[in-house]
Amino acid sequence: MSHERQHYVNGAWVEPLQPTLLDVVDPSTEEAFTQIAVGGAADVDRAVEAARAAFPAFAATTRRQRLDLLRAILAEYNKRRDDIADVLSREMGAPRKFAYERQSATGTGHLARMIEVLEDYRFEEVQGTTLIAREPIGVVGLITPWNWPINQIVCKVAPAIAAGCTMVLKPSEVAPLNAVIWSEVMHAAGVPAGVYNMVQGEGGTVGNAMSAHPGIDMMSFTGSTRAGILVAQAAATTVKRVAQELGGKSANILLPDVDFPTAVTKGVLGMMGNSGQSCNAPTRMFVPLDRHEEVKAIAKAAAERVVVGPVDDERTTIGPVVSAVQFEKIQRLIQAGIEEGAELVTGGPGRPEHLNRGYFVRPTVFANVRNDMTIAREEIFGPVLSILPYRDEAEAIRLANETVYGLAAYVQSADLDHARRVAAQMRAGNVHLNYPAPDTAAPFGGYKQSGNGREYGKWALDEFCEIKAVIGYGAAA
């Protein structure tokens, strides 16, 4: 990889029009190890011009041509999975094994799924005498985050390609190197010039320029709710479509009949994976009041099994959080939990005792948490679990839904029908029953301030299509 200080525009690596550099920091050492180019409005203009010029020809390609292109991208991606895992460990602090088996694996999964979807997707259907056609929406702007970076790049780019859209990507400036490799993959796969473009940079400049750009027909954004609001506001001036996957504060309801040692342990370990940096992490665990003491002991034991350490050590469960900004935010929220009267079960402020540098956070569990406490309301984005006791099922459901977020919810019960009835009352875009395996065909997205629109599988392809009705198409002459 030798393109960190360039953008990818119109099928070539190009020098930035506004030559500014930004450090990329290794969160394990707190030291910069490379720099990337930081783009500006002029770089966005150049990329949009290339995407608009490429759109008519690419929109006219056949299903078979786009399938062949996706298969070529998948083949090139799989050649670079080791490289992607290496940079993810370095730039975002994912343990090396996790970076390969979970983080980089998502790219393979989304590409394979989109190929499967595109093979049978109905771009046209006749209803009565009217043709309903799904056509590529145009040039799309893609802004992706640092926590699952390659996952979010691929789950946007793959359906955009499948739909026949052209695009401009702005990856996270915090974890940008995986996007450089991804751009090398796209080039090696023979993606036509201008179909895919990447401009590195910061949200306040590149992201804002993309969102407001009259040459971009749709914005697809993943990140914080705060930043999502800014994207939507900037996009409103051109009335473009905005699809957003934002923050979360997901509830995990353990019903009284569940196997508590198993359900609590899986809940703790699941939410602390990726150092707690997942928007759909089950961060609020609701448990029956009369099982609260038992749950505390199980959660403490589970959290203390989590090994925080170097990313290249196979014994490590979680590495550092991504940046000083995130570390300081998490420390502030842990302190808020203590000051507001939550019971600290394990963990707490500061680094683990065996680590003296790096943005490492102690796996932390709070009990006796009330839903009005800061740690129960704000998205912490770190390995911090809140346990909230409930008196009855109705209260659990009410408290679980009492949040501005609605990305995901989790329900655990030995009675699947009971879990389904509770799931029907959850105001969330995804509800997970009894810790199921991930499903890349299921629509991913949220209610309320967790966003709008859906990603993954067929649902993602729908998002990148505009709908046209040709009335009278089937009428007699």
Beta carbons of 245 and 455 less than 8 angstroms apart: yes
Q: Cα-flanking dihedrals φ and ψ of residue 468, to 5°?
A: -120, 135
The question of whether 245 is a catalytic residue gets the answer yes
* Catalytic-labelled residue, pool 279, 455, 463, 465: 279
Beta carbons of 158 and 458 less than 8 angstroms apart: no
Encoded tokens for 46: 């150049």
Compute CA distances 69 → 112, 161, 359, 450, 471, whole Å: 12, 8, 40, 33, 33
Count the Cβ atoms, other than its own, within 10 Å of residue 15.
10
Encoded tokens for 33: 């190890």
Beta carbons of 329 and 381 less than 8 angstroms apart: yes
Per DSSP, the residues of 150-178 read: HHHHHHHHHHHHHHT-EEEEE--SSS-HH
* Catalytic-labelled residue, pool 91, 184, 245, 463: 245
Beta carbons of 299 and 345 less than 8 angstroms apart: yes
Task: Identify the sign of the CA torsion 224, 281, 387, 452.
Answer: positive
For tokens 């070539």, the residue is 12
3-state DSSP call for residue 297?
Answer: helix
For tokens 């943005």, the residue is 359
Closest to 322 measured CA to CA, from 149, 80, 142: 149
Per DSSP, the residues of 315-330 read: T-SB---S-HHHHHHH
Closest to 121 measured CA to CA, from 455, 458, 439: 458
Beta carbons of 243 and 452 less than 8 angstroms apart: yes
The question of whether 279 is a catalytic residue gets the answer yes
Q: Which residues does the annotation mark as catalytic?
A: 245, 279
